[in-house]
A and B are shown apart, each in its own frame.
Chain A
Amino acid sequence: MNDFEENLKAVFREVFDDQSLELSDHLQAQDVEGWDSIAHITLIMAIEEAFKVQFLTREVMSFKNVGDMKECLWRKLH
């Protein structure tokens, strides 16, 4: 699980241009500076590219926080 978490964190840090950003399951858009709807798409695309997966529209719609994303991504990878 460690590499997975590190890689995901790296994507977040790059997208939000913040090298001190830490991820927690409860983290959501309003907690992060610059996480607006446009950054959200960039984030989803960056995750898709980094992990070579594609999210379904239904999945993207259901993401409420980082925990949701992580769980969905983890399921796709296993």
Chain B
Amino acid sequence: MSLHRLLTAGRSIEKSSCTQFLKIAVISDAATQHYCEALGATLKLRGWWPEIYEAEFDTIHQETLNTSSGLYLHQPKFVIVFQSVQALAQRFYAVKNKKEFAEGHVTDLLELWDRISSNLACTLLHHNFAVPLDRPYGNQSLAYPTSFIGTVTGINAKLNDLVTKKNIRLIDTEFQASYFGKRNWFDERLWCQARQALSPTFLAPLVKSISDTLLADRGLTTKCVILDLDNTMWGGILGDDGIDHIEIGPTEIGLAYQRFQQYLTELRDRGVLLAICSKNEQEAVLKVLDTHPDMILRRNDFVAIFANYDDKASNIIAIQKKLNLAFDSFVFLDDSPFERDLVRKAFPEIQVPELPEDPGKFQTELSRWNFFECNSSASEDFHRLKYYKDDEERAAVRAKYIGLDDFLFDLEMSAVLRLFNQFTSPRVLQLIHRTNQFNLTTIRYSKSELESIIEDANTYGFCLSLSDRLGDNGIIAVIILRKESIDLKVDTWIMSCRVLGRRVEELILNIIVDKAKELGCFRIIGQYIQTNKNALVKDLYSNLGFVDAGSVEKTKLYSFQVETFEAKKIPIVLEPNHISQEES
């Protein structure tokens, strides 16, 4: 969000809409009007009403030395000390003895902190310095403690040591400046004109990180990361590609996922819980976790593993119940925009970041959002995993997410039905050859067989594409129907697992019924041929209202009387007349 929009949004928030209060004071040797207003706006947007005392420009010493100063009268719970590197430079260049400058600065700082602490029961937040770009000794500049950047780097290093000892929260200005690039972060024109320590463009992310630190102190921290598996923790679709072909390993895409898993181990070690929520089969997932040689994370690294074909919102409720954590302590990571949107809608408190398309960029993107701010009692974190592992039983909670249907209608899905033709054939063939899970008969037609299906007057090959307001999913289903006197037989029914849980099955049943009526068929015959990968659709026909019609060898048969069909309201609009348009 741009600074201007942040400030405008902040102004429009009423005190009554905030449920909690924070009393804060900001003392600084730089101009802080934008800073304070932006910090206030960020807190308001997060539901906390800020009462900020902003000290006059460059009055750190006056405010802290005078026991009846505005700072002390305000009685803040948090005091933020923002010393700018530009003001530090001014002092640095004014002294003769550069060697002792860093040490002198740190001594002053300790006194300052003590002074504030002895007058106020508050938590102190202290900014480190954004190390400037001056390089009087070229590449060797940092090695000279008497250079300015050597001095600044030295002070920052000492700060790291001191903040732990003194129980002070560090605001990592140096990280923010590096992340966004210092050539842009520093706008020295604005220091000269108006004592701005950084380009106001970057105030929004800076104050966001400060609000994280403030709220972490109030207990708002991420305690659990819920992870998708396919294309989030490894490349490919486990159900379709199989354990031998998912991409995880020491090269290329596999390496990107391995590195992401390594990053997650660091979160695990610091006490952030990891949970799995994936549309997969539990058994297949456990097999990967237990036996895949290239996986970094294993079964025991997760406090909850929910791999099934229920909607993710229901699984998240189950995870939340099992762990008994508030929704605002979860982060949800999933490569699918559909799932992300669903989770955002269902649980506005859960943090759901966009993930970049390339898994190699996951970590960099996540670091930007500062999800893992930790508070003072972080040591408790380290025991959390064990605590949950002790309570291992998989609670069979499956509270269905009630709002799912509303969400689906909100998605504004529309589908287009096409007969097979030369344009759709490549994708149709791909689905026929690659889909294992949602595949009722798993007949792998060749290209020439597909062509004869197109030619055959009694056989109808359709493909269905689906789009929604999040984007186009392309062709996601293939159906081949064959007229056999009064019966219409479903020879092939394949669907991409990406669109599970969106009621596409019901739309396809409508389509089949319409075709049966058009051809004067009274009965629809469904077939299910079991493989070791398609258990997902074992009960599809029964669930859709078909009745068991015995079996022929390995093929289970189901039948459906067309006249008994009752159309239901489905959240997908089928675009009309598309077939005839293409045929004409």
Q: Which residues of A are in contact with B by a Cβ distance under 8 Å?
A: 14-15, 17, 37-38, 40-42, 45-46, 54-57, 60-61
Residue pair B201, A41 in contact (C-beta under 8 Å):
no
Indicate if B298 sits at the interface (CB-CB under 8 A): no
- Name the contact of B34 in the complex, choosing from A14, A38, A54, A56 (C-beta under 8 A): A38
Residue pair A57, B189 in contact (C-beta under 8 Å):
yes
Q: How far is the CB of A22 from chain B (nearest CB, A)?
A: 20
CA distance A38 to B189 in the complex (A): 15
Q: Please judge, given known A-B contacts A41-B196, A57-B189, A57-B193, whether A15 and B4 are in contact too, CB under 8 Å.
A: yes
Q: Please judge, given known A-B contacts A14-B4, A17-B8, A46-B4, whether A41 and B192 are in contact too, CB under 8 Å.
A: no
Chain A residues with Cβ below 8 Å from B3 are 42, 45
Nearest A residue to B33 via CB reads: A38
Indicate if B544 sits at the interface (CB-CB under 8 A): no
Residue pair A42, B196 in contact (C-beta under 8 Å):
no
Indicate if B133 sits at the interface (CB-CB under 8 A): no
CA distance A74 to B3 in the complex (A): 26
Chain A residues with Cβ below 8 Å from B193 are 41, 57, 60-61
Interface size class of B (residues with CB under 8 A): 10 to 19
* Majority secondary structure of chain B interface residues (helix, strand, loop or mixed): helix
Q: Mark each residue of chain B from 170 to 192: 1 if its CB lies under 8 Å from any CB of chain A, else 0.
A: 00000000000000000001101
Which 3 residue pairs of A and B lie closest in terms of their CB atoms, listed nearest first? A38-B33, A57-B189, A57-B192
Q: Mark each residue of chain B from 24 to 45: 1 if its CB lies under 8 Å from any CB of chain A, else 0.
A: 0000000001100100000000
| A–B Cβ pairs within 8 angstroms, 22 of them | A15-B4, A37-B33, A37-B194, A38-B34, A38-B37, A40-B194, A41-B34, A41-B193, A41-B194, A41-B196, A41-B200, A42-B3, A42-B4, A42-B7, A45-B199, A45-B200, A54-B189, A55-B189, A56-B189, A57-B193, A60-B189, A61-B193
**Count of CB-CB pairs between chains A and B under 8 Å:** 34
Nearest B residue to A41 via CB reads: B194
Nearest A residue to B32 via CB reads: A38
Chain B residues with Cβ below 8 Å from A61 are 193
Q: How far is the CB of B38 from chain A (nearest CB, A)?
A: 11
Chain B residues with Cβ below 8 Å from A15 are 4
Q: How far is the CB of A69 from chain B (nearest CB, A)?
A: 14
Residue pair A42, B200 in contact (C-beta under 8 Å):
yes
CA distance A58 to B52 in the complex (A): 34
Chain A residues with Cβ below 8 Å from B194 are 37, 40-41
Chain A residues with Cβ below 8 Å from B199 are 45
Chain B residues with Cβ below 8 Å from A56 are 189
Known: A37-B33, A45-B199. 5 other contacts (CB 8 A): A14-B4, A41-B190, A41-B193, A42-B7, A61-B193
Chain A residues with Cβ below 8 Å from B201 are 45
CA distance A65 to B33 in the complex (A): 23
B140-197 contacts to A, CB under 8 A, are: 189-190, 192-194, 196
Chain B residues with Cβ below 8 Å from A45 are 3, 199-201
CA distance A23 to B192 in the complex (A): 28
B92-149 contacts to A, CB under 8 A, are: none
Nearest A residue to B37 via CB reads: A38
Q: How far is the CB of B39 from chain A (nearest CB, A)?
A: 14
CA distance A45 to B34 in the complex (A): 13
